[in-house]
Amino acid sequence: MSEALLELVEVERRFSVSAGLFRGRRALHAVNGVSLALRRGEVLGLVGESGCGKSTLGRMLLGLMPASAGEIRLEGRPLAAFSTRELARRVQPIFQDPYSSLNPRKTVGAIVGLPLAVHGIEADARARRKRVQETMERVGLPPRFFHSYPNQLSGGQRQRVAIARALVMRPEILICDEPTSALDVSVQSQILNLLEDMRREFDLTYLLISHNLAVVEHIATRVAVMYLGRIVEEADTVQLFRAPRHPYTRALLASVLTPEPGLGVPDTHLGVSYPNPLDPPPGCTFHPRCGEAMPVCRERAPAALADVRGRVECHLYDNAVK
Ligand code: SF4
């Protein structure tokens, strides 16, 4: 097993939100006691329904949002100990929507070169331009696009610009948050193949956040399943897709993926809708939707079981409960 490059240890992220008129404010646990390691060289898929906390977790790993409790470490050092520049050199994002994540008033050359300018890397304008052009070429953007604007490009080309903007920093880790969900199906596989090629060429490590299980199966080497702020199952991709253990993972895999990628929610056919994170169910938070729930599930949260097959949080695997 390779070493942990990025690691979350009992990480929590709470938000204080209004519970409604005259009802004051309540704490929303977007991420609730997550321990997870991103190992060097792997593609870790993070899946779950919209609102489960996966994008919040991604933002914390990018240093864009502090943890309310617990610790995030990069190569064993707390993330908070890194300067913004140091962190940007090592961890870069690719966001979902190439239509809104690129400044429409800047040319492609300026967009790709912006992180270098912001962080004072390649101060010499000619050297910076050369690095931008080389990176554009690597991701399949013709040199003529250097002076183009985002609205002159297709969705796939725009996402290539976003990938170039991340790679120009020569990072070690990419946090890819739904990198293909805003694209046409025909373009999605091109972008996934590009990400895979770039990973091999630059020896990168990816966290791939996606609601699309087909995307995750295509590219991820390991998968973590998130539900209401917790990781409920973690396993190698082949293991997880062949023999899922957590009832929620099984429901996700049995789900029919939405024909509208932009909706971002697989239809889990669970009958009961996703719980209000402000008022999570007691015990196992999945119990109102779980066809295998036992009396204990309503009273006690399951402990995590870690073994050769991965890690799962469910009373079905707890010998003391069965
Ligand atoms: Fe279902 Fe109980 Fe397992 Fe939760 S702990 S997933 S309710 S069987």
Q: pLDDT digits over 268-293, tens only? A: 557 678 888 888 999 999 999 999 99
pLDDT at 14 over 90: yes
For tokens 């870690």, what's the residue? 306
pLDDT at residue 186 in the model? 84
Reading across the β-sheet that carries 77-78, which strands appear in turn? Answer: 25-39, 4-18, 69-74, 77-78
- Vertex 174: Cα angle to 106 and 3 (nearest 5): 160
Quick: pLDDT tens for 184-226.
Answer: 888 899 999 999 999 999 999 999 999 888 899 999 999 999 9
Gap from CA of 287 to ligand 1 centroid (Å): 6
pLDDT at residue 97 in the model? 76
pLDDT at residue 197 in the model? 94
pLDDT at residue 100 in the model? 80
Nearest Cα residue to atom 3 of ligand 1:
314
Q: In the structure, what pLDDT confidence band is assigned to residue 256 with cuts at 50, 70 and 90? A: low
Q: Which of 246, 252, 287 to mutate to test the pocket of ligand 1 (most atoms within 8 A of CB)?
A: 287
* Helix 185-202 with 155-167: angle, nearest 10 deg: 20
Q: In the structure, what pLDDT confidence band is assigned to residue 263 with cuts at 50, 70 and 90? A: very low
Q: In the structure, what pLDDT confidence band is assigned to residue 258 with cuts at 50, 70 and 90? A: very low
Residue 115 backbone phi and psi in degrees, to 5? -60, -35
pLDDT at residue 23 in the model? 74
Residue 163 backbone phi and psi in degrees, to 5? -70, -40
d(CA 177, CA 105): 24
Q: What is the mean pLDDT of the chain?
A: 90
pLDDT at residue 262 in the model? 47
Based on the number of CB atoms within 10 Å of its own CB, is 70 exposed (0-12), middle (13-18) or buried (19 or more)?
middle
Tokens of 210: 């996606």
Q: Is there a contact between 135 and 106 (Cβ–Cβ < 8 Å)?
A: no
d(CA 53, CA 227): 8
In this structure, which topology does domain 4-317 adopt according to CATH?
Rossmann fold (3.40.50)
Q: In the structure, what pLDDT confidence band is assigned to residue 307 with cuts at 50, 70 and 90? A: very high
Nearest Cα residue to atom 8 of ligand 1:
293
Gap from CA of 296 to ligand 1 centroid (Å): 9
d(CA 268, CA 257): 8
Nearest Cα residue to atom 7 of ligand 1:
287
Quick: pLDDT tens for 32-72.
Answer: 999 999 999 999 999 998 889 999 999 999 999 999 999 99
Based on the number of CB atoms within 10 Å of its own CB, is 207 exposed (0-12), middle (13-18) or buried (19 or more)?
buried
> What is the pTM assigned to this prediction?
0.91
Tokens of 125: 């304008």
Q: Is there a contact between 73 and 9 (Cβ–Cβ < 8 Å)?
A: yes
Q: Which of 246, 252, 289, 292 to mutate to test the pocket of ligand 1 (most atoms within 8 A of CB)?
A: 292
Q: In the structure, what pLDDT confidence band is assigned to residue 160 with cuts at 50, 70 and 90? A: very high
3-state DSSP: the chain helix, strand, coil percent, rounded to 5? 35, 25, 40
The predicted model gives 90-116 an average pLDDT of 90
Gap from CA of 240 to ligand 1 centroid (Å): 17
Task: Please name the amino acid found at residue 261.
Answer: P
The predicted model gives 240-245 an average pLDDT of 96
d(CA 216, CA 219): 6
pLDDT at residue 204 in the model? 97
pLDDT at residue 259 in the model? 46
Residues with a CB atom less than 6 Å from ligand 1: 247, 284, 286-287, 290, 292-294, 297, 302, 314-316
d(CA 237, CA 227): 18
Give 235-260 as a DSSP string: EEHHHHHHS--SHHHHHHHHSBPPS-
Gap from CA of 254 to ligand 1 centroid (Å): 17
pLDDT at residue 219 in the model? 93
Gap from CA of 292 to ligand 1 centroid (Å): 6
